[in-house]
Chain A
Amino acid sequence: MSRKLISALVALGLSATVATAQEYPTKEIQGIIQWGAGGSTDTVMRSVTPHAEEALGGTVVMQNMTGAVGAIALNYVVDADADGYTVLMGAENPMLYKVMGLGDEDYSAFTPINILARGTAMLVANNAAPFDDYAGMLAYIAENPGELKLGATGPGGLPSVITAMMNTVEGELDVISVPYDGDGPALTALQGGAIDVMPAVLGAAIEGIRAGNMKPILIFDTETNATLPEVQIATDANAAYATYLPWGPFFGVFAKNGTPDEVINALTAAYATAAENKDFIDLMAGRGFTMMNISGDEANAFLTKWQQGTAWLLDDAGLTQASPEEFGIARPAN
């Protein structure tokens, strides 16, 4: 026993010097989750990371760090050392921080370890709403200007992007936009009749639709959705949506730029393996997420395209604080 203790103390003394020589990871890794416990980002990260830990042979301690639409967590990781022991587990929001005036950093300061999955946006309506499909909704808005209550989650959130898309494609829609803290509370309000229509991520609405507590109106995708095959897709409703789709919120794991290559490779390999785990894939499919599991250049290309499309869409709708041009975000080619 005492021998073990002595060796522990010796190791403690040496660890500072030996650490660099050993293989990554030599200590636990902090995973900073951008959103609160129980949210979709949290759930996705907590279900994929144990598989990654196994592949990596290390421990990832996950912590939720909320506030300022995730900017607090992002800044925390930016301020930490680029040694791979502090990684960011986030969603799409940081890509809009600059144009929305929420911060000076986005994922361009990070190396994507893995972009795990993408969600699909859709419109759902209260059961009592006097229409059952997208065309009916547009007709209702045209006949009753300023009557329809559309849920929102603040500038830059999924509903604001979808609303901007609809306004661009269909012309200005005269609706009341009622803000909520997130799609969870907004969908609750939808079922209670406080709002009529809500743009939400498919995964959050699917159980309510299955139970018949709300009705699906439109899915913002270019292909028929496997989970809800009978629901109309946006490009069928109006071909002009093709410019912006496919689009959706995403979840990813990121390390700060400047992290040593071997560390990036170890993390990337671990999360790639984890994302192929059958349990995880089933779980994501059940919630209507589309698996991506991409990293490296592929992930960077995805991020750039996502940011260009979304930032300019919001800018054209007059929702941004600063033009994407100021930050060198080029207008998408098409």
Chain B
Amino acid sequence: METLMAIFTIFTQPQLLLLVGVGTFAGIYIGAIPGLSVTMAVSILISFTFSWDVYPAISLMVGIYMGGVYGGSRTAILLNIPGAPSAIATAMDGYPMAQKGEAGQAIGVTTVMSFFGGLIGIFVLAVAAPFVADFAITFQPRDYMLLAVLGILLVGSLSSGSLVKGIFAGALGIAIGAVGRDPLTFTERFTFDLRLMEGGISFIAVMIGMFGVSEALQQLQNVNMKAVRQKIDRIMPSFGTVKKYLPLSLQTSSIGVIIGALPGTGGDIAALMAYDHAKRITKKPKVPFGKGAMEGLVAPETANNAAVGGAFIPMMTLGIPGDAVTAIMIGALFIHGLNPGPMLMVDQPDMFWFIVGALLMANVFMLIFGLTGIKIFTKIVEMPRSVIIPLILLLSIVGAYAVNNSITDVYWMLGFGVFGYFMRHYGYPLGPVILGVILSRLLDDNWRRAIISEREDLGSFFEGIITSPLSLTLFIAVILIFVSQTSIWTFAKNRLFGKAS
């Protein structure tokens, strides 16, 4: 019981409270600027807070993490450029809303729903961390592989327009993810014997290019078009709206927590899966998906913030990072003289409860800052395009460089920017490319691990799937989703081929 009181440490020390607040505020902006990432910010904070005590250092990091995951949605909604990978799905319905002048409303809903998702994540972390961690650790390579296949099937719901073009885009993404030296055997793949290809293509560079540069080039065609006036009177969503999306957000938050808790998958995949889930279960959205459906905002935003709490679950209970940011925080705890691992909960339970408290506080700050700064933020869209476009291009370049301090990434980013520009014009969806890049390693590595573990024997591979309840569940989910998509596919085929021939 005493240790549980550590949850309140944060509230009793104004200095810590201030740090969480500053962190959250900064995090929102870091998340919003494509190319500035939470991972980057947190690793810089390790050096910055080296001489501090552990509580203030962690407070600041937790704030940045929470704010950053949420902040990615801002630019996704306002500029159609996701500030962070976890906001890719948010752009799909958020940007159409901004085009209708409803950016304020979109950000309002996003903020409240992010808060809700965050809350669920923290709640699960607080009450069920050991159980979720035990569950997460039972995932075998074949389960991760099935999860990746499940993710790849999202191509269907991410490609409005032609499905075949979506499939092409998804496969292209997987191929992009395979470029460079294979991490398992160091074999060169698609490197054409060029040294600069060996490191592979940074996924952030692809994302910034495809969404940032191609969007800016696209906007060049309407430089002189008047910006849409944004209505900013209805920012705070009504209680009725929140209540309406409560069942959906509970489901998408659960997706977020689980995907976030799995080591090797994070908020980006969680948000895409949640978007797909919302599209699947929403029979009659008020506005169609892709045109500004509220459900399309609620789902990814609840999921990616719930994934934050999820990512802390294996970190706090087992010392296993749930994602890149928690990996760095483990390093931070270590530098501050703690020994992150399964014994942390036993030796220093205060630390666990302190982090829960800090997350809770960061979540509240996120709500406050999220709802108050909207007016200034929406002014961005109303800035003259002649200034915004060059700035987006410059930020894209700096951002791509900053990921890994590599000029090669800048070239890739520019290349994919121009390529993405043509893809947009000819009706190839960009979402599946990013999805493919995100899932490439998960699919490839785990497929190979799984089949190596069975000594290349497909028979015992399938036997393994059928005999494990977890694998079987995932396998059935894959089959069900695949079948449901095939009917869409035949429909699309009839519509396109039928008329042409």
Residues A65 and B448 in contact, CB atoms below 8 Å apart: no
Residue B186 interfacial (CB < 8 Å):
yes
CB-contact partner of B198 in A64, A67, A195, A282, under 8 A? A67
Residue A156 interfacial (CB < 8 Å):
yes
* Segment from B55-63, B107-115, B177-185, B365-373 that makes contact with A: B177-185
Contacts of B452 in A (CB 8 A): 176-179
Q: Which residue of A lies closest to B347 (CB)?
A: A210
Cα distance, A60 to B180, chains bound together (Å): 30
Contacts of B330 in A (CB 8 A): 38
Known: A65-B405, A179-B184. A286 touches B339 (CB 8 A): yes
Contacts of A39 in B (CB 8 A): 327, 331
Against B, the Cβ 8 Å flags (1 = close, 0 = not) of A64-79 are 1111110110011000
A1-49, CB < 8 A from B: 32, 36-39, 42-43, 46-47, 49
Which interface residue of A42, A50, A207 has the most chain B CB atoms within 10 A? A207
Known: A64-B43, A207-B342, A207-B343. A43 touches B141 (CB 8 A): no
Residues A194 and B445 in contact, CB atoms below 8 Å apart: no
* Segment from A108-116, A136-144, A182-190, A256-264 that makes contact with B: A182-190
Residues B263 and A188 in contact, CB atoms below 8 Å apart: yes
Contacts of B181 in A (CB 8 A): 68-69, 102
Contacts of A67 in B (CB 8 A): 180, 198-200, 404, 406
CB-contact partner of A193 in B140, B320, B344, B405, under 8 A? B140
Residue A332 interfacial (CB < 8 Å):
no
Residues B140 and A194 in contact, CB atoms below 8 Å apart: yes
Residue B318 interfacial (CB < 8 Å):
yes
Residues A155 and B453 in contact, CB atoms below 8 Å apart: no
Q: Which residue of A lies closest to B46 (CB)?
A: A46
Residue B1 interfacial (CB < 8 Å):
no
Residue A283 interfacial (CB < 8 Å):
yes
CB-contact partner of B331 in A37, A69, A176, A178, under 8 A? A37
Cα distance, A100 to B328, chains bound together (Å): 30
Residue A57 interfacial (CB < 8 Å):
no
Residues B43 and A37 in contact, CB atoms below 8 Å apart: yes
A158-198, CB < 8 A from B: 176-181, 184-185, 188-189, 191-195
Against A, the Cβ 8 Å flags (1 = close, 0 = not) of B172-209 are 00000000110111100000000100111000000000
The size class of the interface chain A forms with chain B is: 35 or more
Residue A279 interfacial (CB < 8 Å):
yes
Residue A149 interfacial (CB < 8 Å):
yes
Known: A65-B404, A210-B343. A100 touches B331 (CB 8 A): no
Q: Which residue of B lies closest to A31 (CB)?
A: B47
Contacts of A156 in B (CB 8 A): 186
CB-contact partner of B406 in A36, A65, A286, under 8 A? A65
Residues A191 and B318 in contact, CB atoms below 8 Å apart: yes
Cα distance, A266 to B341, chains bound together (Å): 37
CB-contact partner of A185 in B47, B263, B448, under 8 A? B263
Cα distance, A287 to B140, chains bound together (Å): 28
Cα distance, A176 to B321, chains bound together (Å): 26
Q: Which residue of B lies closest to A203 (CB)?
A: B334
Residue B285 interfacial (CB < 8 Å):
no
Against B, the Cβ 8 Å flags (1 = close, 0 = not) of A282-305 are 110011000000000000000000
Against A, the Cβ 8 Å flags (1 = close, 0 = not) of B433-459 are 000000000000100110011010000
Residues B186 and A283 in contact, CB atoms below 8 Å apart: no
Residue B462 interfacial (CB < 8 Å):
no
Cα distance, A116 to B96, chains bound together (Å): 55
Q: Which residue of B lies closest to A210 (CB)?
A: B343
Contacts of A62 in B (CB 8 A): 47
Residues A50 and B337 in contact, CB atoms below 8 Å apart: no
20 more A-B contacts (CB under 8 A) besides A178-B452, A180-B184, A211-B341?
A: A37-B331, A38-B331, A39-B327, A42-B331, A46-B50, A47-B50, A65-B404, A69-B186, A75-B195, A154-B184, A154-B186, A179-B185, A181-B445, A188-B137, A188-B318, A188-B320, A207-B344, A208-B318, A210-B343, A287-B334
A–B Cβ pairs within 8 angstroms, 7 of them:
A38-B330, A66-B199, A149-B453, A176-B455, A177-B452, A179-B185, A188-B320
